[in-house]
Structure 1
Amino acid sequence: MPDINSFQGSYANEEPVTEKQFVADGILPPEQVGQLRPSDPNLPIEELRERLEKDNYLFLKGLLPREDVLKAREGYFKFLSPSGVLKPGTEPVEGIFDMSKDIAGFPGIGAGGTAGNGKPGGDQAAVFVDLALQAHMEDFYAEDFCKHPALISFIAKLTGWGDNTLMFRRSLLRNNIPGAHAIGVHYDQIFLRHGDSVSNITAWCPMGDIKVTGGGLIYLENSKSIGQEIEAEFFRKAEEVCFTDEEAKYAFNSNMMATGLLSEEPSAFAKQFNRRWLVSAYEAGDVVLHDAFAIHASTINKDPEGVIRLATDLRFCDSSRPYDKRWCNFYRVGDGV
C-alpha cells in the first residue's frame, strides 16, 4: 500500500486495483474501480476535516488498537459458534466459514436482502440469525467495542461536537459469508430522516482484516451531491402524491425500493452516474468515516480462505440538533429503520 501521507489529491499516487471486484450485477469493469485514499489519524485535524469534506469519506488507518478489535471479533464468533457457522478445527478469531454448509442458513443482517428490514433466512437460519441479533447487546460488543474511547474522542474532535457527540445505540453488526448476498447501493440518510441532514456521521469499522476481494465496503466517488439530489427528488415525489410527513420519511415507502436501497446493481449505478467505485483492503483497527449522503455498497465476499467479513456501522450525531430518536434503541428486525 502507498504511504498514507503521500496523497496530495484524491487520487495522487493511486495504485491500480488488479483483483476482480464481484458485485450483484457481475464484475466491475476496470474503468469503474479506483482506490480509497487512506489517511493517518495523526494528521492535523483541519486537514482531516478538509479530506472528509472533499472526498465525503475519511479512511483512517489504525485508529483503533488492533488487539481490541480482534478481541471483539473473537467474542462475536465464540458467541455465534453454536450455529455451526465456523469451520471445525479453526479458531473463532479467524472467523472461517464451514464451506460444507449451505450459505442460505447464514444470511447477513440488514444487507438489503429482505423487504422492510424483515428477518432474513427463514426457519433454516433461525439459530444463526437470532444469535447475530443478540450479539448487538452483548458486552463484548455493545460496551467494550462500540464505546471505545479512541473512536468517540476522535469523532468528537473531528466534528467539533465535543460533549454533544452522541453515539446511537442502534448499530449494524454485519457478517458477510463468502458468496452470500452483498450490501446494496444506498446512502445512510435514507434511514435517518427523522433527524436533520447535516449532523450525522457513520463510522464503518472492520472487525478483522478484509482482503480487497473479501466483501468490504466500496464508495462511489464524489457521491454526496448525487445522494442529496436523489433525496430531494424522493421528497418532491412524496409531495406530488400527498404523502404525510411520516410516510415521506419512511425508508421503505412506495417511492423507494422495498429494501430502502437505491439499487441492487452497483455496476449499472456507476455507469448511470459516470462514477467509479473506490475499494480497498482493510485491517483490524481501520475505520472509515462517511457522510450521511455518501453512496456506498459492498462487493461479494470472495475470500479464497473462506474468511467471514465482519464489520459494524456505528452512527453518531450532534445531540444539540434534532436527531432521529428511532436510533436510540438496539437493532431489531422490522423496526422501520
Structure 2
Amino acid sequence: MQLPTVCQPGRLAVNDGLLENVKFLHQSHADEPLDKLRQRYEEDGYLFLKGLIPRADVLKARHEYFNMMAPTGVLEEGTLPVEGVFNSLKSAEEFPGIGAGAAGKNGRPGGEKAAQFIDLALDAHYRDWYAQDFCRHPALINFVARFTGWESNTLGLRRSLLRNNIPGTKPIGVHYDQIFLRHGEPTSVTAWVPIGDIQLTGGGLIYLENGDSLGLSIEEEFTKKAKDVGLSEEEAKDAFNNNMMATGLLSELPLDFSHKHSRRWLVAEYEAGDIVLHKPHAV
C-alpha cells in the first residue's frame, strides 16, 4: 500500500509536543532498477524498502526475543511471545529501553528492579537467532552487497543495537549514526529493521527531511571550528563527542529541532520484513 504524501497533523507526539506538517517516507522496492534506488538514496539520505526480508523470518526472531524476555514479566499473561503485548499490571520503569537515554555517558538504565530485564536484553545481542540469523540475513546482506557494489567485501559491524522501548519509556533523541562511529570513515550504511509491525503512532523511527545534508553541515561546521583553534584530528573527534549531550544526541526535543532547522519529520507505518537503509549523517 502506498501511503499519501502528507500525514494529518496532531496524531503524532514526540518528547516536546505534537508533530505538525509531517510527511511519509518514500517507499521503494528491491526489484526496482538499482540505479534508480541509488539515486533515491543519494537524494534522500535513506532508502525505505518494503518487504525485503521474508516476514516469517522476522517474526521468528521476534518470537525468540520475547520468549527470552518472558521470565521478567514484561508480557501480558495469556498472550503469545510473538505478539509482544506489554503487561498492563507492570510499571514501565521496570523495563527501561536499551539505548534510549540512560543517565550518564554509558550509564546502565534502571536499578536492581530492572537488572534481570537489562541483563537479558543485552545478552540477546549475542544469541545466534539475532547476531547471525537476523543481522546477517541473506536477503539483507545480498541486497546491500549489490546496492553498494561492495559485493563479497560487504561486512556487518559487530556492534548493533537491539532497541526495546516499552510503552511509556523515553525514546531515543535526535541523532545521526556517525556520532556513534566517530573514529571510522563515514562510508557505512545503517540498516534499521523493525522486528514486527509498527503502526504510525507505535514509535517507529522517524527521519528529518533532508537530514543527511544537515548532519554533514553540523559535522563540517564543528570540524572547521576545531581546526581554527588548532586541534589535531584526534583531538577534534574527542572534542566533538564531548560537545554532544551526555547520551550522544543532538537534541532531546525533536519538534524544536525541526523548527530550528526548518525541516519536516518523515514518518511511516512499518511491517515485518521492511527495512530502511540510511547514510551515516542522516538525522
Normalised by the length of structure 2, the TM-score is 0.95
Give the number of the structure whose residues are more often strand, by fraction.
Answer: 1
Q: 1:193 to 1:219 in 2, by over 3 A?
A: same
For residues 86-235 of structure 1, the aligned pairs below 5 Å read 86-197=75-186, 199-235=187-223
Deviations 1:106-143 (A, max 9, x none): 11111233332321112221110110000000111111
1:192 is displaced (CA, Å) by 1.1
What SS does the aligned partner of 1:116 have? coil
For structure 1, the 5+ residue unaligned runs are: 4-12, 296-337
Aligned to 1:302: none
State the 1:102 CA deviation.
1.1
- 2:11 is aligned to 20
**Aligned residues between the structures:** 283
Q: List per-residue Cα deviations over 1:180-215 (Å, max 9, x = no partner).
A: 111100000111121112x11100000000000000
Specify which structure has the higher proportion of helix: 2
Once the two structures are TM-superposed, the CA of residue 262 in structure 1 deviates from its matched residue by 0.2
RMSD: 1.7
When normalised by structure 1's length, the TM-score is 0.80
1:131 and 1:245 mapped to 2: Cα distance?
A: 38
Fraction of identical pairs, as percent: 59
Partner of 2:280: 292
Separation of aligned partners in 2, 1:254 and 1:131 = 30
2:2 corresponds in structure 1 to 2
1:251 and 1:263 map into 2 onto residues whose CA distance is: 17
8 Å CA contact retained: 1:58, 1:289: yes
| Matching residue's letter, 2:194 | P
Aligned partner of 1:309 in structure 2 is none
For residues 57-108 of structure 1, the C-alpha deviation after alignment (integer angstroms, 9 at most, x for no partner) is: 1000000000000000000000111111111111000001112111011111
Q: Which amino acid aligns with 2:54?
A: P
| Kept after mapping to 1: 8 A contact 2:19/2:255 | yes
